[in-house]
Structure 1
Amino acid sequence: TSAPDIDEIIGGSDEENVELFGPLGQPSSSQATESVTLPQLIKRFYKIWQNEKIAPELMPAQIDAVALISREVTNFETQAKSLPKGDIRAQLIRMQAERLRYLLTDYLRTRIRKIEQFPHYVISEERSRPQTEDPHLTPAEFTFTKTFDDLTIENLRFTVLDHLPHNMSKVDQDAIAFRPNLDAYVFCQVHSRIEVTNTDPSGASSEVLTLMPGEIHLLPYRAVQKHTKSGSVTLI
Protein backbone atom coordinates (compact mmCIF):
# COMPACT_ATOMS: atom_id res chain seq x y z
CA THR A 1 0.00 0.00 0.00
CA SER A 2 1.13 3.56 -0.71
CA ALA A 3 1.83 6.09 2.01
CA PRO A 4 -1.10 8.39 2.88
CA ASP A 5 -0.94 11.91 1.50
CA ILE A 6 -1.12 14.99 3.69
CA ASP A 7 -4.87 15.49 3.12
CA GLU A 8 -5.58 12.01 4.46
CA ILE A 9 -3.40 12.59 7.52
CA ILE A 10 -4.93 15.94 8.48
CA GLY A 11 -8.44 14.83 7.61
CA GLY A 12 -9.06 16.93 4.51
CA SER A 13 -10.51 15.80 1.20
CA ASP A 14 -11.30 17.31 -2.17
CA GLU A 15 -15.04 17.17 -1.52
CA GLU A 16 -14.70 18.94 1.84
CA ASN A 17 -12.93 21.94 0.35
CA VAL A 18 -15.20 23.07 -2.48
CA GLU A 19 -15.47 26.82 -3.01
CA LEU A 20 -17.65 28.78 -5.42
CA PHE A 21 -16.15 31.89 -7.00
CA GLY A 22 -15.30 33.61 -10.28
CA PRO A 23 -12.67 31.78 -12.36
CA LEU A 24 -9.15 32.64 -11.25
CA GLY A 25 -7.00 34.27 -13.89
CA GLN A 26 -10.06 35.13 -15.98
CA PRO A 27 -11.75 38.53 -16.44
CA SER A 28 -13.32 39.64 -13.17
CA SER A 29 -16.27 40.99 -15.15
CA SER A 30 -17.25 37.43 -16.02
CA GLN A 31 -20.42 36.28 -14.28
CA ALA A 32 -19.49 32.60 -14.49
CA THR A 33 -18.62 30.72 -11.34
CA GLU A 34 -17.05 27.34 -10.79
CA SER A 35 -16.50 24.89 -7.98
CA VAL A 36 -12.91 24.04 -7.14
CA THR A 37 -11.27 22.01 -4.42
CA LEU A 38 -8.64 23.42 -2.10
CA PRO A 39 -5.79 21.60 -3.91
CA GLN A 40 -7.04 23.10 -7.19
CA LEU A 41 -7.19 26.56 -5.62
CA ILE A 42 -3.61 26.26 -4.35
CA LYS A 43 -2.41 25.03 -7.76
CA ARG A 44 -4.06 27.97 -9.51
CA PHE A 45 -2.71 30.51 -7.06
CA TYR A 46 0.76 29.02 -7.53
CA LYS A 47 0.45 29.81 -11.25
CA ILE A 48 -0.76 33.34 -10.46
CA TRP A 49 2.26 33.84 -8.18
CA GLN A 50 4.57 32.35 -10.80
CA ASN A 51 3.30 34.68 -13.55
CA GLU A 52 3.62 37.71 -11.28
CA LYS A 53 7.19 36.78 -10.32
CA ILE A 54 8.34 36.37 -13.92
CA ALA A 55 6.33 38.92 -15.91
CA PRO A 56 8.15 42.26 -16.28
CA GLU A 57 4.91 44.21 -15.87
CA LEU A 58 2.29 44.30 -13.12
CA MET A 59 -0.28 41.58 -13.80
CA PRO A 60 -4.06 41.94 -13.37
CA ALA A 61 -5.17 42.15 -9.74
CA GLN A 62 -6.47 38.88 -8.28
CA ILE A 63 -8.66 40.14 -5.45
CA ASP A 64 -10.77 36.98 -5.17
CA ALA A 65 -7.77 34.65 -5.18
CA VAL A 66 -5.95 36.64 -2.51
CA ALA A 67 -9.06 36.71 -0.32
CA LEU A 68 -9.59 32.95 -0.67
CA ILE A 69 -5.96 32.06 0.08
CA SER A 70 -5.92 34.43 3.06
CA ARG A 71 -9.07 32.79 4.39
CA GLU A 72 -7.58 29.32 3.99
CA VAL A 73 -4.50 30.37 5.99
CA THR A 74 -6.80 31.51 8.79
CA ASN A 75 -8.82 28.29 8.56
CA PHE A 76 -5.66 26.16 8.79
CA GLU A 77 -4.43 28.07 11.84
CA THR A 78 -7.81 27.72 13.56
CA GLN A 79 -7.89 24.01 12.75
CA ALA A 80 -4.37 23.49 14.13
CA LYS A 81 -5.23 25.23 17.41
CA SER A 82 -8.27 23.01 17.89
CA LEU A 83 -6.19 19.82 17.92
CA PRO A 84 -4.60 18.35 21.07
CA LYS A 85 -1.10 19.54 21.94
CA GLY A 86 1.53 17.34 20.34
CA ASP A 87 -0.82 15.99 17.66
CA ILE A 88 1.22 15.49 14.49
CA ARG A 89 -1.74 16.67 12.43
CA ALA A 90 -1.43 20.13 14.00
CA GLN A 91 2.21 20.35 12.87
CA LEU A 92 1.31 19.32 9.32
CA ILE A 93 -1.55 21.80 9.17
CA ARG A 94 0.75 24.60 10.36
CA MET A 95 3.21 23.62 7.62
CA GLN A 96 0.42 23.98 5.07
CA ALA A 97 -0.51 27.36 6.53
CA GLU A 98 3.10 28.58 6.35
CA ARG A 99 3.40 27.40 2.77
CA LEU A 100 0.32 29.37 1.74
CA ARG A 101 1.39 32.40 3.79
CA TYR A 102 4.75 32.44 2.01
CA LEU A 103 3.12 32.31 -1.44
CA LEU A 104 0.66 35.05 -0.52
CA THR A 105 3.28 37.31 1.09
CA ASP A 106 5.77 36.90 -1.75
CA TYR A 107 3.05 37.53 -4.33
CA LEU A 108 2.06 40.81 -2.66
CA ARG A 109 5.71 41.78 -2.10
CA THR A 110 6.44 41.25 -5.80
CA ARG A 111 3.55 43.50 -6.79
CA ILE A 112 4.69 46.25 -4.42
CA ARG A 113 8.23 46.03 -5.81
CA LYS A 114 6.93 46.55 -9.35
CA ILE A 115 4.78 49.47 -8.23
CA GLU A 116 7.77 51.11 -6.55
CA GLN A 117 9.91 50.55 -9.66
CA PHE A 118 7.39 51.96 -12.14
CA PRO A 119 4.92 54.11 -10.16
CA HIS A 120 4.12 56.70 -12.82
CA TYR A 121 3.89 54.12 -15.59
CA VAL A 122 1.61 51.89 -13.52
CA ILE A 123 -0.75 54.68 -12.47
CA SER A 124 -0.88 56.12 -16.00
CA GLU A 125 -1.66 52.73 -17.51
CA GLU A 126 -4.37 52.09 -14.95
CA ARG A 127 -6.05 55.44 -15.58
CA SER A 128 -6.08 54.89 -19.33
CA ARG A 129 -7.20 51.26 -19.15
CA PRO A 130 -10.63 50.62 -20.76
CA GLN A 131 -13.37 49.55 -18.35
CA THR A 132 -13.76 46.35 -20.36
CA GLU A 133 -10.28 45.24 -19.23
CA ASP A 134 -9.40 43.81 -15.83
CA PRO A 135 -7.85 46.36 -13.43
CA HIS A 136 -4.19 45.76 -12.62
CA LEU A 137 -4.48 47.54 -9.26
CA THR A 138 -6.73 46.90 -6.30
CA PRO A 139 -8.27 50.04 -4.74
CA ALA A 140 -5.64 49.93 -1.97
CA GLU A 141 -2.82 49.47 -4.49
CA PHE A 142 -4.15 52.36 -6.58
CA THR A 143 -4.05 54.68 -3.57
CA PHE A 144 -0.54 53.50 -2.65
CA THR A 145 0.72 53.90 -6.23
CA LYS A 146 -0.68 57.41 -6.59
CA THR A 147 0.80 58.50 -3.25
CA PHE A 148 4.18 56.92 -4.05
CA ASP A 149 4.28 58.59 -7.48
CA ASP A 150 3.35 62.00 -6.05
CA LEU A 151 6.00 61.73 -3.34
CA THR A 152 8.64 60.65 -5.87
CA ILE A 153 8.02 63.70 -8.04
CA GLU A 154 7.84 65.97 -4.99
CA ASN A 155 11.21 64.66 -3.80
CA LEU A 156 12.71 65.19 -7.27
CA ARG A 157 11.42 68.75 -7.30
CA PHE A 158 12.69 69.51 -3.78
CA THR A 159 16.16 67.99 -4.24
CA VAL A 160 16.88 68.87 -7.89
CA LEU A 161 14.38 70.88 -9.89
CA ASP A 162 14.01 73.77 -7.43
CA HIS A 163 17.77 74.34 -7.65
CA LEU A 164 17.86 74.60 -11.44
CA PRO A 165 17.26 77.67 -13.62
CA HIS A 166 13.57 78.35 -14.24
CA ASN A 167 13.72 77.21 -17.87
CA MET A 168 15.12 73.85 -16.74
CA SER A 169 12.93 73.25 -13.70
CA LYS A 170 10.01 71.65 -15.52
CA VAL A 171 9.95 67.96 -16.30
CA ASP A 172 7.76 65.71 -18.41
CA GLN A 173 6.80 62.90 -16.04
CA ASP A 174 5.75 60.59 -18.86
CA ALA A 175 9.09 61.08 -20.61
CA ILE A 176 11.25 60.30 -17.58
CA ALA A 177 9.12 57.55 -16.06
CA PHE A 178 10.74 54.12 -15.74
CA ARG A 179 8.96 51.44 -17.77
CA PRO A 180 9.06 47.64 -17.62
CA ASN A 181 10.91 45.94 -20.46
CA LEU A 182 8.10 44.15 -22.27
CA ASP A 183 10.61 42.76 -24.77
CA ALA A 184 12.45 40.79 -22.07
CA TYR A 185 12.65 37.09 -22.92
CA VAL A 186 10.65 34.66 -20.80
CA PHE A 187 10.11 30.91 -20.75
CA CYS A 188 6.48 29.97 -21.13
CA GLN A 189 4.49 26.74 -21.10
CA VAL A 190 1.58 26.51 -23.53
CA HIS A 191 -1.82 25.20 -22.36
CA SER A 192 -3.92 25.69 -25.51
CA ARG A 193 -3.24 26.17 -29.22
CA ILE A 194 -2.42 29.82 -29.89
CA GLU A 195 -0.77 31.99 -32.52
CA VAL A 196 1.73 34.65 -31.50
CA THR A 197 3.58 37.31 -33.45
CA ASN A 198 7.30 37.39 -32.75
CA THR A 199 8.72 40.73 -33.89
CA ASP A 200 12.42 41.36 -34.43
CA PRO A 201 13.83 43.81 -31.81
CA SER A 202 14.57 46.28 -34.61
CA GLY A 203 10.98 46.02 -35.80
CA ALA A 204 12.18 45.23 -39.31
CA SER A 205 10.56 41.81 -39.50
CA SER A 206 8.09 39.58 -37.71
CA GLU A 207 6.82 36.03 -37.90
CA VAL A 208 3.64 34.30 -36.78
CA LEU A 209 4.25 31.22 -34.64
CA THR A 210 1.73 28.51 -33.83
CA LEU A 211 2.23 27.18 -30.30
CA MET A 212 0.73 23.87 -29.27
CA PRO A 213 -0.35 22.60 -25.81
CA GLY A 214 2.50 21.18 -23.73
CA GLU A 215 5.23 23.05 -25.58
CA ILE A 216 7.76 25.26 -23.81
CA HIS A 217 9.17 28.30 -25.59
CA LEU A 218 11.59 31.17 -24.95
CA LEU A 219 9.98 34.30 -26.38
CA PRO A 220 9.78 38.05 -25.78
CA TYR A 221 7.16 38.70 -23.11
CA ARG A 222 5.33 41.06 -25.47
CA ALA A 223 4.60 38.13 -27.82
CA VAL A 224 2.75 36.16 -25.12
CA GLN A 225 1.51 39.07 -23.01
CA LYS A 226 -2.21 38.70 -23.74
CA HIS A 227 -2.04 34.90 -23.65
CA THR A 228 -0.42 34.99 -20.21
CA LYS A 229 -3.28 37.12 -18.91
CA SER A 230 -5.90 34.87 -20.48
CA GLY A 231 -4.34 31.73 -19.00
CA SER A 232 -3.39 30.15 -22.35
CA VAL A 233 0.26 30.15 -21.26
CA THR A 234 2.06 30.14 -17.93
CA LEU A 235 5.44 31.77 -17.39
CA ILE A 236 8.02 29.39 -15.94
Structure 2
Amino acid sequence: MSDVDEDLVASSDGEEDMMTAPEVLQRLEEAWVIERMSPTLEHHQTDVVDCMLEQIDQMTENIKKCKKQDFRAALHKMEIDRIRYVLSSYLRVRLEKIERYAHHLLEKDASVTDPLQAVLSPQEASYAKEYVSSMESHFQKVVLQQMPEIIRGFDAVKECVKPNLESYVFFKVKKAVPGVLVEDFRGEGRDEEVDLEEGSQYLMRYNTVKDLLQSGTVVFI
Protein backbone atom coordinates (compact mmCIF):
# COMPACT_ATOMS: atom_id res chain seq x y z
CA MET A 1 0.00 0.00 0.00
CA SER A 2 1.27 3.47 -0.88
CA ASP A 3 2.26 5.35 2.26
CA VAL A 4 0.77 8.80 2.80
CA ASP A 5 4.25 10.29 3.33
CA GLU A 6 5.31 9.32 -0.17
CA ASP A 7 2.23 10.38 -2.10
CA LEU A 8 2.44 13.49 -4.26
CA VAL A 9 -0.43 15.80 -5.09
CA ALA A 10 -0.71 18.81 -7.35
CA SER A 11 0.09 22.18 -5.84
CA SER A 12 -3.03 24.02 -4.73
CA ASP A 13 -1.98 27.22 -6.49
CA GLY A 14 -2.25 25.56 -9.89
CA GLU A 15 1.47 25.58 -10.62
CA GLU A 16 3.48 22.67 -11.92
CA ASP A 17 5.16 22.12 -8.54
CA MET A 18 4.16 19.10 -6.55
CA MET A 19 3.66 18.79 -2.82
CA THR A 20 3.60 15.72 -0.64
CA ALA A 21 0.33 14.83 1.04
CA PRO A 22 1.73 15.76 4.48
CA GLU A 23 2.55 19.25 3.13
CA VAL A 24 -1.02 19.67 1.88
CA LEU A 25 -2.33 18.39 5.21
CA GLN A 26 -0.14 20.88 7.04
CA ARG A 27 -1.60 23.71 4.97
CA LEU A 28 -5.10 22.47 5.74
CA GLU A 29 -4.38 22.26 9.46
CA GLU A 30 -2.93 25.79 9.46
CA ALA A 31 -6.00 27.08 7.61
CA TRP A 32 -8.22 25.27 10.13
CA VAL A 33 -6.52 26.86 13.15
CA ILE A 34 -6.47 30.29 11.50
CA GLU A 35 -10.18 30.05 10.64
CA ARG A 36 -11.06 29.04 14.19
CA MET A 37 -9.03 31.84 15.75
CA SER A 38 -9.78 34.62 13.29
CA PRO A 39 -12.67 37.00 14.07
CA THR A 40 -13.57 37.16 10.39
CA LEU A 41 -13.77 34.80 7.41
CA GLU A 42 -10.37 34.21 5.85
CA HIS A 43 -9.57 33.55 2.20
CA HIS A 44 -11.02 30.22 1.10
CA GLN A 45 -8.70 27.22 0.66
CA THR A 46 -10.85 25.29 -1.80
CA ASP A 47 -7.89 23.87 -3.72
CA VAL A 48 -6.31 22.52 -0.53
CA VAL A 49 -9.62 20.95 0.51
CA ASP A 50 -10.07 19.35 -2.91
CA CYS A 51 -6.52 17.97 -2.83
CA MET A 52 -7.11 16.48 0.62
CA LEU A 53 -10.41 14.90 -0.43
CA GLU A 54 -8.64 13.25 -3.36
CA GLN A 55 -5.97 12.00 -0.97
CA ILE A 56 -8.61 10.50 1.30
CA ASP A 57 -10.14 8.67 -1.66
CA GLN A 58 -6.73 7.33 -2.65
CA MET A 59 -5.94 6.19 0.89
CA THR A 60 -9.34 4.49 1.14
CA GLU A 61 -8.73 2.59 -2.09
CA ASN A 62 -5.29 1.54 -0.86
CA ILE A 63 -6.79 0.21 2.37
CA LYS A 64 -9.14 -2.01 0.39
CA LYS A 65 -6.13 -3.69 -1.18
CA CYS A 66 -4.65 -4.61 2.18
CA LYS A 67 -5.13 -7.92 3.87
CA LYS A 68 -7.43 -7.91 6.88
CA GLN A 69 -4.52 -8.79 9.16
CA ASP A 70 -2.37 -5.90 7.91
CA PHE A 71 -1.79 -3.58 10.86
CA ARG A 72 -1.10 -0.66 8.52
CA ALA A 73 -4.75 -0.63 7.47
CA ALA A 74 -5.88 0.25 11.00
CA LEU A 75 -3.31 3.04 11.22
CA HIS A 76 -4.39 4.51 7.91
CA LYS A 77 -8.06 4.33 8.92
CA MET A 78 -7.23 6.34 12.03
CA GLU A 79 -5.36 8.89 9.91
CA ILE A 80 -8.31 9.17 7.51
CA ASP A 81 -10.68 9.78 10.45
CA ARG A 82 -8.37 12.51 11.76
CA ILE A 83 -8.19 14.23 8.38
CA ARG A 84 -11.96 14.04 7.96
CA TYR A 85 -12.42 15.64 11.36
CA VAL A 86 -10.13 18.56 10.44
CA LEU A 87 -11.91 18.98 7.09
CA SER A 88 -15.41 18.91 8.55
CA SER A 89 -14.46 21.26 11.40
CA TYR A 90 -12.81 23.72 9.00
CA LEU A 91 -15.83 23.76 6.68
CA ARG A 92 -18.28 23.98 9.59
CA VAL A 93 -16.50 27.03 11.03
CA ARG A 94 -16.57 28.73 7.64
CA LEU A 95 -20.26 27.94 7.21
CA GLU A 96 -21.09 29.44 10.60
CA LYS A 97 -19.22 32.63 9.72
CA ILE A 98 -20.86 32.84 6.30
CA GLU A 99 -24.31 32.68 7.86
CA ARG A 100 -23.37 35.17 10.59
CA TYR A 101 -21.76 37.74 8.27
CA ALA A 102 -23.47 36.92 4.96
CA HIS A 103 -24.41 40.48 3.94
CA HIS A 104 -21.02 41.87 4.92
CA LEU A 105 -19.09 39.14 3.10
CA LEU A 106 -21.11 39.46 -0.10
CA GLU A 107 -20.67 43.24 -0.08
CA LYS A 108 -16.94 42.83 0.53
CA ASP A 109 -16.44 40.33 -2.29
CA ALA A 110 -18.55 42.44 -4.67
CA SER A 111 -15.85 45.12 -4.54
CA VAL A 112 -13.05 42.66 -5.41
CA THR A 113 -11.97 42.77 -9.06
CA ASP A 114 -9.54 39.85 -8.92
CA PRO A 115 -11.34 36.51 -8.28
CA LEU A 116 -8.16 35.18 -6.65
CA GLN A 117 -8.59 37.79 -3.90
CA ALA A 118 -12.17 36.80 -3.11
CA VAL A 119 -12.80 35.57 0.43
CA LEU A 120 -15.70 33.35 -0.60
CA SER A 121 -15.33 30.46 -3.00
CA PRO A 122 -17.87 30.40 -5.88
CA GLN A 123 -19.83 27.70 -4.05
CA GLU A 124 -19.78 29.66 -0.79
CA ALA A 125 -20.85 32.86 -2.55
CA SER A 126 -23.77 31.03 -4.12
CA TYR A 127 -24.80 29.63 -0.74
CA ALA A 128 -24.48 33.05 0.92
CA LYS A 129 -26.73 34.64 -1.70
CA GLU A 130 -29.38 31.96 -1.26
CA TYR A 131 -29.13 32.25 2.51
CA VAL A 132 -29.53 36.04 2.41
CA SER A 133 -32.47 35.78 0.01
CA SER A 134 -34.24 33.24 2.21
CA MET A 135 -33.62 35.20 5.42
CA GLU A 136 -34.81 38.49 3.91
CA SER A 137 -37.92 36.84 2.50
CA HIS A 138 -38.70 35.27 5.86
CA PHE A 139 -38.05 38.54 7.72
CA GLN A 140 -40.29 40.40 5.30
CA LYS A 141 -43.21 38.00 5.77
CA VAL A 142 -42.91 37.46 9.52
CA VAL A 143 -41.77 40.88 10.77
CA LEU A 144 -41.89 43.80 8.35
CA GLN A 145 -45.41 43.15 7.09
CA GLN A 146 -46.63 43.49 10.66
CA MET A 147 -44.85 46.81 11.17
CA PRO A 148 -46.06 50.34 10.36
CA GLU A 149 -45.28 51.31 6.80
CA ILE A 150 -42.91 54.04 7.92
CA ILE A 151 -40.33 51.50 9.12
CA ARG A 152 -40.76 48.85 6.43
CA GLY A 153 -37.82 50.24 4.48
CA PHE A 154 -35.37 48.19 6.52
CA ASP A 155 -31.88 48.13 4.96
CA ALA A 156 -30.38 44.73 5.79
CA VAL A 157 -26.94 45.67 4.47
CA LYS A 158 -26.61 48.72 6.73
CA GLU A 159 -27.86 46.81 9.75
CA CYS A 160 -25.91 43.60 9.11
CA VAL A 161 -23.57 42.07 11.67
CA LYS A 162 -19.88 42.69 11.00
CA PRO A 163 -16.85 40.92 12.49
CA ASN A 164 -14.89 42.68 15.21
CA LEU A 165 -11.51 43.25 13.58
CA GLU A 166 -10.19 44.89 16.73
CA SER A 167 -10.39 41.66 18.73
CA TYR A 168 -7.15 40.15 20.01
CA VAL A 169 -5.49 37.05 18.53
CA PHE A 170 -2.56 34.86 19.51
CA PHE A 171 -0.05 34.24 16.74
CA LYS A 172 3.39 32.79 16.07
CA VAL A 173 5.95 34.47 13.85
CA LYS A 174 7.29 32.33 10.99
CA LYS A 175 9.59 35.05 9.62
CA ALA A 176 11.04 38.01 11.52
CA VAL A 177 9.34 41.35 10.84
CA PRO A 178 10.91 44.61 12.04
CA GLY A 179 8.99 47.77 12.86
CA VAL A 180 5.38 46.60 13.06
CA LEU A 181 3.23 49.58 13.99
CA VAL A 182 0.92 48.92 16.93
CA GLU A 183 -1.62 51.73 17.01
CA ASP A 184 -3.13 53.03 20.23
CA PHE A 185 -6.83 52.28 19.72
CA ARG A 186 -7.68 54.73 22.52
CA GLY A 187 -6.38 57.60 20.43
CA GLU A 188 -4.01 58.85 23.11
CA GLY A 189 -1.00 59.00 20.81
CA ARG A 190 0.76 56.01 22.30
CA ASP A 191 1.50 54.21 19.04
CA GLU A 192 4.66 52.11 19.08
CA GLU A 193 6.73 49.96 16.77
CA VAL A 194 7.45 46.34 17.66
CA ASP A 195 10.02 44.00 16.12
CA LEU A 196 8.48 40.56 15.69
CA GLU A 197 11.10 37.86 16.24
CA GLU A 198 11.00 34.59 14.34
CA GLY A 199 9.55 31.76 16.43
CA SER A 200 8.14 34.14 19.05
CA GLN A 201 4.50 34.31 20.08
CA TYR A 202 2.45 37.47 20.56
CA LEU A 203 -1.01 38.74 21.44
CA MET A 204 -2.18 41.65 19.29
CA ARG A 205 -5.29 43.03 17.65
CA TYR A 206 -6.31 41.30 14.42
CA ASN A 207 -6.18 44.49 12.36
CA THR A 208 -2.51 44.92 13.27
CA VAL A 209 -1.42 41.56 11.86
CA LYS A 210 -4.00 40.73 9.18
CA ASP A 211 -1.63 41.63 6.32
CA LEU A 212 1.13 39.51 7.88
CA LEU A 213 -1.33 36.64 8.18
CA GLN A 214 -2.32 36.85 4.53
CA SER A 215 1.34 36.86 3.46
CA GLY A 216 2.03 33.77 5.57
CA THR A 217 4.52 35.61 7.79
CA VAL A 218 2.54 34.71 10.91
CA VAL A 219 0.11 31.94 11.84
CA PHE A 220 -2.56 31.91 14.53
CA ILE A 221 -2.23 29.53 17.46
TM-score when normalising by structure 1: 0.86
1:179 to 146, 157, 162: 162
Partner Cα distance (1:42, 1:111) in 2: 18
1:109 to 92, 112, 115: 92
2:198 to 213, 217, 235: 213
2:124 to 124, 141, 148: 141
| Pairing 1:55–2:38 present | yes
| Pairing 1:131–2:121 present | no
> 1:183–1:220: 8 Å Cα contact kept in structure 2?
yes
Residue deviations 1:154-198 (CA, integer Å, cap 9, x gap)? 222222211111111111222210011111101000111224332
Q: Mark the runs of 5 or more structure 1 residues left unpaired by the alignment.
A: 1-9, 24-30
| Pairing 1:19–2:2 present | no
Partner Cα distance (1:13, 1:187) in 2: 31
Q: Partner amino acid for 1:19?
A: V
Q: Partner amino acid for 1:151?
A: S
Structure 1 residue 41 displacement after superposition: 1.8
1:38 to 17, 21, 45: 21
Structure 1 residue 99 displacement after superposition: 0.9
> 1:54–1:235: 8 Å Cα contact kept in structure 2?
yes
Rate the CA distance shift 1:42–1:117 in 2: closer, same or farther, 3 A: same
1:99 to 61, 71, 82: 82
Rate the CA distance shift 1:185–1:163 in 2: closer, same or farther, 3 A: same
SS in structure 1 at match of 2:3: coil
Once the two structures are aligned, what percentage of the paired residues are identical?
27
Match of 2:64 in 1: 81
> 1:76–1:96: 8 Å Cα contact kept in structure 2?
no
Partner Cα distance (1:203, 1:75) in 2: 55
Partner Cα distance (2:184, 2:139) in 1: 36
2:185 to 196, 201, 209: 201
Partner Cα distance (2:103, 2:186) in 1: 26
Residue deviations 1:62-94 (CA, integer Å, cap 9, x gap)? 121011111111111111111111321111111
Partner Cα distance (2:4, 2:139) in 1: 55
Provide the aligned length of Structure 1 versus Structure 2. 219
- List structure 1 runs of 4+ shifted beyond 4 angstroms: none
Partner Cα distance (1:158, 1:105) in 2: 34
Partner Cα distance (2:46, 2:86) in 1: 15
TM-score when normalising by structure 2: 0.91
Q: Partner amino acid for 2:174?
A: H
Match of 2:219 in 1: 234
Partner Cα distance (2:207, 2:113) in 1: 19
Rate the CA distance shift 1:220–1:167 in 2: closer, same or farther, 3 A: same
Partner Cα distance (1:197, 1:133) in 2: 28
> 2:12–2:48: 8 Å Cα contact kept in structure 1?
no
